[in-house]
Amino acid sequence: MTERRIRVLIAKPGLDGHDRGAKVVARALRDAGMEVIYTGLRQTPEMIAEAALQEDVDVVGLSILSGAHMALVPRVLELLRENGQEHVRIFVGGIIPDEDVPRLKAMGVYAVYGPGTLTDDIVRDIRKAVLGTIDQA
């Protein structure tokens, strides 16, 4: 009777106070049958890594609109590695200039989403990243 659920942490690091996008994504993942831990606004990378550890999530989704992604994302990745959670997949959403996308991916970010992304695509990518397949829940 093992029941496996994909667990996702949706976090907003940094100082921008707009979490509409984060909530829309959280809701879409919920509707796709995932368990979504939502931490609210203005999280430090330390708070995010700690929550990821305590909640044993498969995926961390970072919503960043402030432009500080090149500082925040590497710090979150570093802390996750320090905690032994290098297997956790990182997704970044928000306002990310095109030229930064390959740099983020090189750091280990699984995917980057800008405005207009279909939530179905995010759901599909997360399933693929966690389960290695796209048709299982």
Partner 1 sequence: MREGNGVSIAEKVLAGNRYALSRVLTFIENDAPEGREALKALFPYTGRAHLVGVTGAPGTGKSSLVNRLAYYYRHPPEGEPKRVAIVAVDPSSPFTGGAILGDRIRMRDLSGDRGVFIRSMASRGALGGLSRTTAGVVQALDAAGFDMIFIETVGAGQAEVDIARLAHTTLVVEAPGLGDDVQAIKAGILEIADVLVVNKADRPGANATVRALTEMLKLAHPSQETIMHHGRRMVLSSSVAQKHEGHLWIPPVVQTVAIDNQGIDNLAAAIARHRVYLEETGEWQIRDRVRLQSELENMLREALMRRWREGVTAEIYRQVMEDVFARRMAPADAVAILLNGVLA
List of residues contacting partner 1 (CB under 8 A): 1-5, 7, 26-27, 29-40, 43-44, 46-47, 50-51, 53-56, 83-85, 87, 137
Q: What is Dmax (Cα atoms) for the chain? A: 46
CA distance 100 to 135: 31
User: Nearer Cβ to partner 1, position 26 or 112?
Assistant: 26
Select 22 or 92, whichever has its Cβ closest to partner 1.
22
Can you read off the two tokens belonging to residue 35?
A: 């368990």
The nearest distance, CB 100 to partner 1, in angstroms, is 28
CB of 101 to partner 1, least distance (A): 28
3-state secondary structure 68-131: CHHHHHHHHHHHHHHCCCCCCEEEEEECCCCCHHHHHHHHCEEEEECCCCCHHHHHHHHHHHHH
Please say which residue, 46 or 121, places its beta carbon nearer to partner 1.
46
- How far apart are CB 46 and partner 1 at their closest, in Å? 6
Which residue number, 82 or 121, has a Cβ lying nearer to partner 1? 82
